[in-house]
Amino acid sequence: MPYVTTDDGAQIFYTDWGVDGSPVILSHGWPLNSDAWAAAARFLAEHGHRAIAHDRRGHGRSTRTWDGNEMDTYADDLACLIDHLDLTDLTLVGHSTGGGELVRYLGRHGSGRVAKLVLVSAVPPLMLRTDDNPEGLPIDVFDGIRAGEASDRSQLYRDLADGPFFGNNRNNDVSPGTRDAFWLQSMACGHRAAYECIAAFSATDFRDDLAKVDVPTLVIHGDDDQIVPFEVGGRRSAAMVEGARLLVYENGAHGLPDTERDRLHADLLAFIDS
């Protein structure tokens, strides 16, 4: 299996499918791994692109480091992978926490290798409610997730899969297999990485990073997202990136790569090929 070794010795697992066409990196959400993007990676590779997806440190098959479970290190790990593969004309696609990783990468490393950006149900600009971010969610929401991670992480993931992540508690009828896959990927995440990543996705301020985005950007968000509400995430991110295009999926839940798979694949391909 392919790995890249980071500056601190962590090994980051990745898949690399397809050899022709422009490259696409797919960055996953918390507490999942690159398998969450497997269907999209296969679709893009079958349609002429090189599809690359990695397991963030602490997640899936990558090293479970004690330190580095925050956005700066995630972004630097991504830079290591991009440099290792010498990727250019690159499209970055990030779901949820993965969208934050990509925006922080652009803020820290620039867009010299990047052609386009896609944010799907992504956490920027800032999820946590603060004095200068009154639109955010109260800290109690994230403390509740931390409490579940600390006390019974298996049940936390079961509850997320059966409820708000896919909107199975609302209008979506999501298969047991899809929900089980979420649970299985989540349990493959290291306990410390999963716990610390809650702060990384909720309390990291990406507003300065978004201001530095200078590539064509597509923002896709469901208007019934119960994890990253549309008004907290997608709407504001699109407004902060000059020229960004916003696609709103009516009644869309958070887990769009599964609940709106065919539509999302078509929208990704159309944007990448445009």
The set of catalytic residues is 96, 225, 254
Q: Is-contact 139 128, C-beta < 8 A?
A: yes
Q: Sign of the C-alpha dihedral, residues 55, 60, 64, 67?
A: positive
- Taking Cα atoms as reference points, which of 264, 15, 227 lies closest to residue 100? 227
CB-neighbour burial class of residue 224 (10 A; exposed 0-12, middle 13-18, buried 19+)? middle
Helix (H, G, I), strand (E, B), or coil: what is residue 67?
Answer: coil
Which residue type occupies 229? P
Q: Is-contact 219 136, C-beta < 8 A?
A: no
- Taking Cα atoms as reference points, which of 2, 266, 215 lies closest to residue 90? 215
Q: Sign of the C-alpha dihedral, residues 111, 109, 44, 223?
A: negative
Q: Helices 176-187 and 139-162: crossing angle, nearest 10°?
A: 130
Q: Is-contact 93 268, C-beta < 8 A?
A: yes
- Taking Cα atoms as reference points, which of 40, 37, 56 lies closest to residue 101? 56
- Taking Cα atoms as reference points, which of 6, 251, 225, 242 lies closest to residue 120? 225
- How far apart are alpha carbons 274 and 131 in whole angstroms? 40
Task: At 201, list the tokens.
Answer: 């996705």
